[in-house]
């Protein structure tokens, strides 16, 4: 290896964790992961004997597969690009996928959020049945025998859907024809048979918030509405596109794209069901009802609906009404007759997760003037005023998720989440207290606000040459947050003018959306009683800074409320409450959706709000 | 190769066609197929240039894959064992699967059968809709827009199942929001949306008879009930077991067995739908309704129901009631919202195909005394007498399908189907007039009957040593039907004592079943007005011979009726007629099923009827 080669830095991307590091040639993947602050399981300390640090090469090549790896990995794993991180040496830029089981520290996922636990009011019943097993004297078919048992227990009008009748015979035999049947529905209509369980088993429900980046799942006791277990995971669709637009693009260019994106998501959901069932001490046969909320694209990809029209004007949803789909029809491993409820979508870019958030935060029927928003690549904003509901979707871009930002990364360990500039001294705080490796949304927001206050940037977003901390490199100005000596990557961590501009575009889009809704409702910003900020980024952002850069209107800070993953809280409410499902329909019906792209005056508001 | 090797004959089995041939080492698969009377597509005459004579090695090995094959076959095909028949030389016993497209002569399948065409009375409607496409001024979601269109046409209560809502958005766009919607149901209940078609497209239905060995499909015009297209194919499950018992065994020993057997069948049905749609000039989106009939095991494997309990006493069905399953739930490529109706099963070994046969032949509501039976590995027998219905299932075994018979084969080209012994001279007739390569069911029945009449066998089934045509070989007596010089295999085609015994067992089982039903109904055989013989074998068998060997009671020949594939005819009736579906429920309810294994006196009747 020549000296020139050795001095060249390689760029290593870790997926789905969204972290990046530069390393010298010859570094192993395990060492690179450590430099990036990612803790891979490595019981043997890198000796190749434990075989736990399994990762997968997605693009680029590493050193030859070693005998140790041939010993520890199956042939099909090697074919699929799996490596032991401790064995594979790096010599070029690569993209690496880390399977969840290879991580010691679970990804930081937002699970807690607004949304009180409600009493269970959805219609379901459990009835104890004791049937005689078949014999040569009684050759009655299984389902007919089951129907007789149901009739005997007073349930004569019961629908047994095909998926239930496929699984019930085995459930009945496994339980020796004794146990409880779980039914959905009311006596006035037909009941639907969901599952057959041992007598003592509890019925549980599953509420899921499918975000573009992260997935949160909650297991809820359907007797008392209590949460039994919860977990978070990355949305595996990330490997097929960071944002919804690139995933729609994947579907447009791959004939099986919709099927692929649906099945990787369902696989992850099934693994989460398994995990949560284990921690709650139940089986998947006990999961009798589900709710999935997500933005319209996530909704469509989960349900298998076409998405092409969501990527082209006029961006209409295939389905906006609330739907209940058989869990088995999408491959979800729940009770055989379980259905999954998806709340209504408002528009192509305002989905059922927004409806869930409005339910959980009480925005939907508030008597006050309330703005509620969830910041993401698209930021959904809702205004409740004088008993009316208005909403819009702002194209705020992925800057707050770390994309298109020089040192940007998702909110994972090692990410700078707080920045303070005090009299010329820059202080940063990173997630997990590690040596910083990049900067996540809340950190970028802090940095830009602090840089504005410290007069490092001007109102148009230019870095003032000569200001403290500003250096010129490659013909451009950069502000050094962390020097190479203190960073975990061996390089300076900087904010560029382009980074600042990205934040300007993002915050202007959000603020313009807020202003449009206020204008449509003929309300002054000062008249807002509450300003609710939902979502993971919304939880961690510094409100004062958000107001300072003009992303939010200048209200007294006590009117702001950071509510965490309220969509998840709303999903839990929709799972147990019949009234909440009715309310979701009311929201969808009442909601006045404002399409910003055709709103007169939007562009002007957008430009006005670009300044810092 | 030593002389000894060269003189050794190899045994080559061709699947799913069920033909067998012995060849010398070094023979190519193409030559072997020709010897067996199988015409493979071979446009180039065996030069390896056309690549059409594709076959698959299922067990055993052939010569090395040639460069020609590497050129004509894909890597994955070579991995899966595909070969060009003209290139692969044989050196050991092998089993070879022939894909349908490699055959010049379609397999002989029974498509014609009893069952008059009925007027269409199932509830379906077509309504013309013209909707405005979405625009930036009208962002209504697709399904909501579709519902508005339906309301405008007077249909406000319409259920759109998840599979329909997954496909409708694309159908609506493809047809530029103008066309006809097809609905199932009545105005009093909810309609179900099935498909959206161009205005001029006709709605068609699909009726299928899934036999253990063969599958027959009919495409029916739902305006007038006329048959538009039909086709037959081998049941691809044969590769996983010749009969229902071995297929249940496959499911018991393979965790994905049920899924595998379901999906190979569905793949074949999808290919048949495609083929029939092409020949009828329609698309699969126009196939709005389906009916599938089959024995209980075929019913369960198609629907995905458990089959283990059908292989163990007391042999009960998982499902006996009539069911309607969404076509999409089993992967059938029909109109998105199409359902498939499966008529009720009577018992574990009397399935919906028997119900269909009783409908088509009019047995179910006959005022006469009628026996109707369908001969197979299990022979279902029904007796209609004095307004009552009785049935049973006889374990007649696979002898009439050519199994367990030394030279036995299915009714394919080259099979001996007729045998006559005239004054010591044996005459045979083979299917297609080819040099005989084996003997099928009707031929075996003829042979045994003629051998009995010619005094070649005695009443207990022993071959009389010294009788004309009887030779001793390998310490046993054989009757030579065709000499090596005249056969297509190069070997004598013989009937052994064991072959005769197999036929004795089969005919005794059938006759005992008939006698039990007569006994239960307290009816004398002579009082039977009609004796209906259904199914492919039943169509080709010689009635006089069947009476002669005691398989059928000795009624005047004019009382017998051979009705062909009446199950297929019944399936077509069930497809179009609401009244026939109601009748199927009546049959299932009225039917008095007699379990022969527990019937007192069955064993005695069985033994009594064993004699020739």
Q: How do residues B156-191 score in pLDDT, each as one tens digit? A: 999 999 889 999 999 999 999 999 999 999 878 889
Compute the nearest-CA separation of B316 from chain A (Å). Answer: 6
**Nearest-CA residue of chain A relative to B595?**
A136
Chain A positions touching B140 (Cβ under 8 A) are 316, 320
Contact call for B140 and A597, based on CB within 8 A: no
Residues with Cβ within 8 Å of A485's Cβ and at least 6 positions away in sequence, in order, are none
Contact call for B329 and A162, based on CB within 8 A: yes
Contact call for B136 and A345, based on CB within 8 A: no
Chain B positions touching A345 (Cβ under 8 A) are 141
**Nearest-CA residue of chain A relative to B163?**
A329
Contact call for B144 and A595, based on CB within 8 A: no
**Nearest-CA residue of chain A relative to B325?**
A162
8 A C-beta contact, residue A391 and residue A592: yes
Compute the nearest-CA separation of A136 from chain B (Å). Answer: 5
Distance CA B563, CA B546 (A): 16
8 A C-beta contact, residue B535 and residue B375: yes
Helix (H) / strand (E) containing B379: strand B379-385
Contact call for A142 and B309, based on CB within 8 A: yes
- Using omega within 30 degrees of 0 as the cis cutoff, is the peptide bond preceding A34 cis? no
Most confidently predicted of A86-100, A310-324, B25-39, B49-63: A310-324
Burial class (CB in 10 A: 0-12, 13-18, 19+), A133: middle
Percent residues over pLDDT 90 in chain B: 71
Chain A positions touching B165 (Cβ under 8 A) are 303, 305, 318-319, 323
Residues with Cβ within 8 Å of B401's Cβ and at least 6 positions away in sequence, in order, are B213, B242, B376, B377, B408, B410, B441, B537
pLDDT of B106: 42
In this complex, the residue of A303, A309, A313 whose CB is nearest that of residue B166 is A303
Distance CA A572, CA A579 (A): 13
Q: What Å distances lie between residue A80 and A54, A74, A77, B487, CA to CA?
A: 12, 10, 5, 53
Contact call for B141 and A345, based on CB within 8 A: yes
Q: Which residues pair with A421 in a beta bridge?
A: A426
Return the residue in A141, A342, A351, A592 with the most chain B beta carbons within 10 A, the one to mutate for interface testing. Answer: A141
> The tokens 């305006």 sit on which residue?
B223
CB atoms within 10 A of CB B63: 14
Contact call for B139 and A316, based on CB within 8 A: yes
Question: Which residue has better confidence, B473 or B124?
Answer: B124
Averaged pLDDT in 10-residue chunks for chain A of 612 residues: 61 81 92 82 70 86 92 87 93 86 54 80 96 94 97 94 93 96 89 96 97 93 94 87 89 94 96 96 97 98 97 95 95 97 97 97 96 93 97 91 86 86 87 86 94 94 91 90 91 94 96 97 97 88 93 95 91 97 97 94 95 92
pLDDT of B108: 46
Compute the nearest-CA separation of B204 from chain A (Å). Answer: 23
Compute the nearest-CA separation of A547 from chain B (Å). Answer: 33
Sheet of strand B493-496, all strands in order from the earlier edge strand to the far edge: B470-473, B476-482, B493-496
Model confidence at B1, in pLDDT bands (50, 70, 90)?
Answer: very low
Q: What is the DSSP string of A61-98?
A: -BSPPPHHHHHHS-HHHHHTTEEETTTPBB-S-EEEE-
Residues with Cβ within 8 Å of A552's Cβ and at least 6 positions away in sequence, in order, are A510, A511, A514, A531, A533, A543, A546, A560
Compute the nearest-CA separation of B134 from chain A (Å). Answer: 7
Q: What is the DSSP string of A356-409?
A: HHHHHHTGGG-SS-EEEEE-SSSEEEEEEETTEEEEEEE---SGGGTTTSTTB-
Q: Which residues pair with B325 in a beta bridge?
A: B340
CB atoms within 10 A of CB B406: 14
Q: What are phi and psi of B583, to 5 degrees?
A: -60, -35
Question: Which residue has better confidence, B450 or B115?
Answer: B450
Return the residue in A135, A262, A300, A318 with the most chain B beta carbons within 10 A, the one to mutate for interface testing. Answer: A318
Contact call for B142 and A318, based on CB within 8 A: yes
Q: Tens digit of pLDDT for each residue in A219-230?
A: 999 999 999 999
Rounded to the nearest 10 degrees, the angle between the axes of helix A296-303 and helix A257-280 is 90
pLDDT of A109: 52
For residue A487, give the DSSP letter. Answer: S
Percent residues over pLDDT 70 in chain B: 95
Return the residue in A131, A132, A139 with the most chain B beta carbons within 10 A, the one to mutate for interface testing. Answer: A139
In this complex, the residue of A139, A165, A313 whose CB is nearest that of residue B305 is A165
Q: What is the arithmetic mean of pLDDT over B597-612?
A: 94
For residue B134, give the DSSP letter. Answer: P
pLDDT of B104: 58
Contact call for B162 and A325, based on CB within 8 A: yes
CB pairs under 8 A between A and B: 127
Distance CA A121, CA A295 (A): 26
Q: Are strands B438-439 and B470-473 parallel, antiparallel or unpaired?
A: unpaired
Q: Tens digit of pLDDT for each residue in A77-129?
A: 899 899 999 999 999 999 998 876 676 544 445 666 777 889 999 999 999 99
Least confident of A215-219, B113-117, B557-561: B113-117
pLDDT of B3: 46
Model confidence at B498, in pLDDT bands (50, 70, 90)?
Answer: very high
Q: What is the arithmetic mean of pLDDT over B400-408?
A: 87
Query: Nearest to residue B200, comparing CAs of B283, B290, B291?
Result: B283
pLDDT of A567: 95
Contact call for A135 and B314, based on CB within 8 A: yes
8 A C-beta contact, residue B549 and residue B448: yes
In this complex, the residue of A137, A305, A347 whose CB is nearest that of residue B169 is A305
Length of chain A: 612
The mean pLDDT of chain B is 91
What's the predicted TM-score (pTM) here? 0.81
Q: Which two tokens stand for residue B228?
A: 């538009």
pLDDT of A126: 95
Question: Which residue has better confidence, B432 or B107?
Answer: B432
Q: Tens digit of pLDDT for each residue in A383-426?
A: 999 999 999 999 898 889 888 899 998 888 888 988 989 888 89
Alpha helices in B281-380 (DSSP H): 296-303, 352-361
pLDDT at B42 over 70: no
Chain B positions touching A309 (Cβ under 8 A) are 134, 142, 169, 173
8 A C-beta contact, residue B79 and residue B117: no
Q: Are strands B438-439 and B425-430 parallel, antiparallel or unpaired?
A: unpaired
8 A C-beta contact, residue B117 and residue B225: yes
Q: Which two tokens stand for residue A19?
A: 């972290």
Compute the nearest-CA separation of A360 from chain B (Å). Answer: 25
Taken in order of first residue, the domains within chain A and their CATH numbers are: 3-102 (3.10.20.30), 124-197 (3.10.20.880), 204-342 (3.30.420.480), 367-612 (no CATH)
Query: Nearest to residue B503, comparing CAs of B543, B456, B461, B451?
Result: B461
Give the rounded distance of the alpha carbon of B370 from its chain centre.
25
Give the rounded distance of the alpha carbon of A287 from its chain centre.
22
**Angle B361-B365-B366 (CA atoms, 0-180°, nearest 5)?**
70
Q: From start to end of A173-280, where are the E strands?
A: 178-184, 191-197, 204-210, 214-221, 227-234
Model confidence at B278, in pLDDT bands (50, 70, 90)?
Answer: very high
Q: Which two tokens stand for residue A532?
A: 């609710």
B81: phi > 0 → left, psi -120 to 50 → alpha, else beta; which? left
Burial class (CB in 10 A: 0-12, 13-18, 19+), B166: buried
pLDDT at B105 over 80: no
pLDDT at B52 over 80: no
pLDDT of B2: 44
Q: Which two tokens stand for residue B543?
A: 């009635």
């Amino acid at each position: 290896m020549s000296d020139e080669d050795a001095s060249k830095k390689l760029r290593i991307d870790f997926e789905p964790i969204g972290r990046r590091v530069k390393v010298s040639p010859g570094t192993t993947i395990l060492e690179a992961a450590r430099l990036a602050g990612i803790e891979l399981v490595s019981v043997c300390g890198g000796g190749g004997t434990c075989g736990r640090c399994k990762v997968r090469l997605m693009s680029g090549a590493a050193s030859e597969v070693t005998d140790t790896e041939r010993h520890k990995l199956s042939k099909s794993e090697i074919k699929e690009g799996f490596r032991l991180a401790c064995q594979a040496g790096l010599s070029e830029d690569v993209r690496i996928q880390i399977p969840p089981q290879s991580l010691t520290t679970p990804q930081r996922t937002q699970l807690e959020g607004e949304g009180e636990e409600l009493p269970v009011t959805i219609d379901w019943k459990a009835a104890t049945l004791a049937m005689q097993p078949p014999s040569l004297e009684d050759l009655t078919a299984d389902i007919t025998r089951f129907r007789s048992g149901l009739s005997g227990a007073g349930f004569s009008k019961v629908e047994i859907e095909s998926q239930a009748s496929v699984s019930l015979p085995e459930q009945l035999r496994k339980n020796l024809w004794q146990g409880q049947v779980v039914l959905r529905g009311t006596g006035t209509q037909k009941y639907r048979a969901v599952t057959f369980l041992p007598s003592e088993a509890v019925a549980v429900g599953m509420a899921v918030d499918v975000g573009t980046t992260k997935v949160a799942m909650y297991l809820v006791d359907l007797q008392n509405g209590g949460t039994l277990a919860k977990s978070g995971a990355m949305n595996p669709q990330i490997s097929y596109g960071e944002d919804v637009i690139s995933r729609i693009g994947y579907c447009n260019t791959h004939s099986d794209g919709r099927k692929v994106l649906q099945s990787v998501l369902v696989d992850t959901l099934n693994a989460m069901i398994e995990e949560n069932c284990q921690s709650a001490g139940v089986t998947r046969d006990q999961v009798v009802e589900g709710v999935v909320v997500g933005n319209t694209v996530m909704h469509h990809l989960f349900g298998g609906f076409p998405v092409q029209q969501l990527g082209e004007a006029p961006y209409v949803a295939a389905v906006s009404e609330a739907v209940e789909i058989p869990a088995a029809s999408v491959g979800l491993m729940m009770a055989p007759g379980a259905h999954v409820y998806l709340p209504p979508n408002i528009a192509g870019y305002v989905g059922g997760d927004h409806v869930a958030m409005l339910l959980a935060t009480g925005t939907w029927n508030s008597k006050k003037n309330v703005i509620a928003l969830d910041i993401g690549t698209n930021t959904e904003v809702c205004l409740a005023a004088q008993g009316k509901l208005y909403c819009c979707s702002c194209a705020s871009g992925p800057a707050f998720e770390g994309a298109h930002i020089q040192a940007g990364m998702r909110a994972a360990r090692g990410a700078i989440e707080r920045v303070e500039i005090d009299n010329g001294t820059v202080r940063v705080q990173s997630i997990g207290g590690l040596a910083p490796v990049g900067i996540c949304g809340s950190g970028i927001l802090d940095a830009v606000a602090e840089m504005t206050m410290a007069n490092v940037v001007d109102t148009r977003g230019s870095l003032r040459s000569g200001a403290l901390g500003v250096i010129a490199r490659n013909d451009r100005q950069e502000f050094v947050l962390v020097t190479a000596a203190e960073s975990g990557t061996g390089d300076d961590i900087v904010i560029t003018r382009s980074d600042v501009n990205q934040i300007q575009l993002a915050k202007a889009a959000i603020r313009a959306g807020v202003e449009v809704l206020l204008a449509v409702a003929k309300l002054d910003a000062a008249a807002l009683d509450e300003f609710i900020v939902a979502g993971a980024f919304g939880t961690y952002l510094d409100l004062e800074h958000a107001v300072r850069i003009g992303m939010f209107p200048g209200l007294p800070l006590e009117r702001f409320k950071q509510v965490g993953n309220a969509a998840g809280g709303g999903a839990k409410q929709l799972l147990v409450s019949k009234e909440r499902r009715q309310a979701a329909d009311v929201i969808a019906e009442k909601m006045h959706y404002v399409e910003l792209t055709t709103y007169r005056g939007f562009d002007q508001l957008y430009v006005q709000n670009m300044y810092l």
